[in-house]
Structure formats: structure tokens, C-alpha cells
Structure 1
Amino acid sequence: MTKPLLILIAGPYASGTNGDPRLMSANLERLEDAAWPIFRAGHVPMIGEWVALPVLSSAGATGPTDPLAADVMYPVAERLLAHCDAVLRLPGESRGADQDVAIARRRGIPVYYSIDEMPDALPAAAEPEAALALVDAPSFLADPAMTPDMQAMYDEDVADDGFVWNLTRVWAYQPETRKKLDELMLAALSSSGLSARQRGVLVTATASTLGDAYCSFAWGGRLARYADPATAAGVLSGADVGLTEQERAMAEWARQIAKDPNSTIPDDVQLLRDAGLDDAQIFAITAYVGLRIAMATVDDALGARPDAGLVAKTPEEVRAVVDYGRRPLSA
């Protein structure tokens, strides 16, 4: 079982109809027939035509055979796939549906070919008493006994930010491990020539894909400074507004690694080359993203809560899109 997924239903709509509105309507009904089974399994169904057809109508187009349709139908599906968690590919020839599948595979999004392949969603459950008892705790762990190395970590946080980060309290059990991990992450990018802004793009894309609220707040705030709040919020939401072509390619690569590293193919690496990255840089960003995932895994698994002080200084645009992961600790 899994969390509820937003699932794009892909299949024939205009294909094979020769523009006959009755046939297109019948095809849309077949797509919609899959909506109830998806909803019944605990997920949220989505069909591109539910969005594209109203867009066409509001633009003054006469319908899906209007010349404007080419500028709306496929782009709508591509934009939806920035937010969808899976694709259900129904039978039948369809260039648009095949394109949806290709985009999903490039982005590491699962593709199902029948309702039976989809996992059921986890039902909503009340918080256990143990979780309620920890509602105002910075993590699931108690603070370890103070050591000189631990005190040095705390002092550095206070000097830089005015408070001790909750993730620092978690890593206080092994300060040397945290130090070496930080050094590894810096070493991974040391010869890449990538800017602080590009590093921010990589981390925010990775964190939001993982559902890691802590790094989303922290690095969303940083990217807002390196670029602007709208750009940071765009990367966190998957819209990637304000990014260069190269940065968009890097963000998509980071998301694919975070979702399913086994889904990558040579064409995905070629897209990075086409965006101007050489193989050494591709290795560097891949290693960096992998190390960021390792750090986030430890933080999230041990319940590290985003700090009230961190969230307070994060731009509103970023706070508005980080609606996942661990709930921030109250002030």
C-alpha cells in the first residue's frame, strides 16, 4: 500500500476519430470509466482533456480539432505530469498517450497498464499515542549526553542562525559522521563549476520529490536568495518557472534519481549533455544528489522537525508549497 497518488489516465481521445466529435466523446467516456476504480483504490484520477478542453474553450477555440489545439492538448499533459505520481496507460493507439508514457519514464514516474497493477492507497489513520506524545519534540530521539564535538556543532548553529537546528540534534549522536558527510557533498561538486544557485536547484528538486519538508524549507529559502522566491517555489512544486534550460534538465534529473534511479536510460544522460553538461559534471551532480538523499533519509526517518526559526525566515511563496513531510515544530 502507498500514499494516495495523482494518476493521469492516458489513452486514445482524438486518435482514429478523423475529428468526429461523437467518436471523441466516446473515447473520453472510456477514459472516464477508469476514474472510479482509481478513486475507489484511494487515489485521485486525472485526465488531460478535463483541463485541456476548458482551456481551449476559454481561448475561443471551436474544439479539439481547432488549430489552437496543437498548442494546448499536449502541453497540458506535459504540465500535468510535473504534478502526477503515476500514469495509467489504457489500450489503443494514441500518439499523445505514448508521449505521456515517454515523459513519465524520463521523469521516473511509474506507468501502469491495468487497474490491477496499481497499489492501493493507505487509509487515513489516527495518530498513535506515542506520536502525540512527541508532538512538540524536535525528533524521535532524546538529546545525547553533551560532548565537546556536540557542543561545537550547537555553538556553530547558534552563531550562524541564532538557534540549534533540530537536525543538528539528531546528528549530535555522531558529529564526525555528519562532518564527513558534509565534506563528501562539498567534494562531489568541488570541480564541477556549478554555482550556488544550481546547487539550490538540485537540492530543492530532490527534497520536494522525497517529500522532505526540512530541506525544502532550508534550501527553498536559500534558492529564494540565490534567485527569487517565485523560482524557489516553482522548483519545489515542479513547475520550474524562472529556470534556464540547463537548470530544468538538472532538476528533472534530480527528481528522477529521487523517485527511481533504476528507471534512468542513456537518453536521460544525453539530455543533460544537450543542456551543456559534460560527463564529469553529470557524475558530480548525481553523486551530490545521492548524498543529499542519504542525509534526508536519516533526518526524516528519525523524525527531525523543521525548526520554527527556519520556517519563520522562509519566504511565504516557499511556505505555501511545502505542504508535505514532517510538520514544523511550533515556536
Structure 2
Amino acid sequence: MNVMPGACALLLLIATCVRPVSAQASGVSDASQPAGLDQALVREAEQLDAAAQTAATHHTHVSIAPIVLLVPPSQSASGVSVDRWVKSQLQRIDRERSSTTQERELRDLAESLRRAAVDRGQPAPPDDPQVLALSILSQRAYAHERTAPAPAPRETLLDKVLKWLGGHVQDLIRAIFGAAVAVPLLGRITVITFIVAVAALAVYLIYLLVSTLARRQRKFAPNMGTPLAPLIEPHTLYEQAKAAARAGQYAQAVALLFQASLRMFDGAGKLPYDASLTPGEYRRAVRRSVAAAGDPFDQIAKTFVLAAFAERTITADEYAAADQAYVTMRPLVTA
């Protein structure tokens, strides 16, 4: 445990012990006893250094003799004394079994006592908050040097070119309208031409804007305007499923069976077709609307999910089970 942070606590204890003395002493200089305390702190630090040197030289555990500072107990109104704090630190160091640890902590404690003796000799900060604030703000770190206003931004080459073009265009327009004012007929022709040119430019800009929006819309919706394919009847889808199964494409056959089931529900008026529903949502909808067809449709939907999303090969037996479920479900839906 490092005792260097204990210097702050030690300073607090010393301030607590010494402050009442100035109020209680009579006919004695205020600096006499604090000076004696500083000397006692330095002497104790030297003794601690000697003990640390012994531990470093002999590499053995050192028994530390108790050291008492000459601080009267009456100096602390709260009963807290520097002696007591130093004694507790020495007892803790004495319990250390390692001579290396003992040496390091003895030297740290000695350094803490020296710092306490030095810091006590420094003048205390002013008690007046206003004086303290003024002293802090007068430091160099808070001083602000007077600076000149920021220079105006310099013109870039592009700014100069645009300014030159703008000036020449302005001169040209001024010359044209000046000549138009001088000749009334020429003035009318100039005004009409100017209005037509502005209108043509506006129409052209609108055309460019609409064309750009149309191209962007076609880019994100390439199939817009394509007529939808007509819905295929359930029996046609079922025949296509059987043809795919004969060709060994069992995954395609199961997908066609699933589509035929959905078209059959829609055609029978039991469950409207909704392409946005997932297979799981369709299974729950079938159990709510056509409860009798729930189990066969579960078999078809489960096999379809394996074929479409699990990316695994559908066997002939799995297709046969789905086909049998479709045959079982058909009379339950159309009845």
C-alpha cells in the first residue's frame, strides 16, 4: 500500500492540531511551536530513512521503534493527533514480512513527513473568496492578448471569373435595353423576345426536372407498367406440379402444390389470396377460416418452407406426402 497519498491527510491533521495553539498560548511567539513541529517531522523522517536503509542492507525484517512527536494533546480539540496517525502507519509497516516492501513504505512515509513540514511553511491562501478569485484570474493562463480583427476572406480564382462574367453580362443587358428605350419599336421587339426566351428556358428546366424524376422512378421500379400475369387455376397448377415431379424436380413440384392450395382457398371463397402473407401467417389464417383443412395444409406448407428457405433437397417421399395432403384437402375446401 503506497503511503504517498497520506501526505494530504497528514497536512489536514497538522492543521487541526496546530490551529488551536495560537488561540491558547499566551506570551509565546505564534511561530515557535509550529517550527518545533516542523523540526520533529524532519527528525522522524531521518529516523525512517535510517530504518529503511537497514532493511535494504540486511535484507531482513526490521523492528521499528515507536517514534513520538512533541505535539501536546491539547492542540487537537477533536482528539485527533499527528502522533496517532504516524503510529498507525508504523504499526502497519511493522507487520510487513517483506524487507523490500518495508523499505519502500518507510521511505514513502519519510517523504510524506518532509512534504508536510515544507508545505506547512508556505503561506495559506487568502480567506476572502473575491481576493482568491482575483488572484487566480490574474495568472498568465487566464490573460487574453488583444488581437486585431480577422482579415477579410480573399477572393478565389472562381470568384474573380464569375465576377468578370457577371459584369460583362450586366453591361450587355444595359446596352441592349438602352438601345431599346431609344427606339420604341425595337424596344417592343426586345421585350417580347426577352419574355419568350425566359418562358422557353422555364419550360426546358421543367422538362429536365420531370425527365430526371421519371428516370429515377423507372430505375427503382423497373417493372412498373408491366401487366400482371393472369391468375392460374388450381387444377392447372396441380398438373404442373405433377409434371415437375415426373421430371424429378420435387422442390418445384412442392412450390406449385403450395400455390395451387392458395388459389383453391381463394377460388372457393374461404380465404382471399394475399401475396404479402408468409407461410406461417397463411397456416394460422387457414386454421381460423377453414379449420378442417388445417392439418393437410400444414403438411404442404411445412414441405414448401423446407424447399424454399432451408435450401435442402426435397425427396420423392416428401413430395408424395405433400401430394397426398393436397388430395385430402381438396374436397374439404370445395365442399
Place the TM-score, normalised by the shorter chain, in its bin.
under 0.3
Structure with greater strand percent: 1
- The structure that has the greater radius of gyration is 2
Structure with greater helix percent: 2
Using CA pairs under 8 Å that are at least 6 residues apart, name the structure with larger relative contact order, 1 or 2.
1
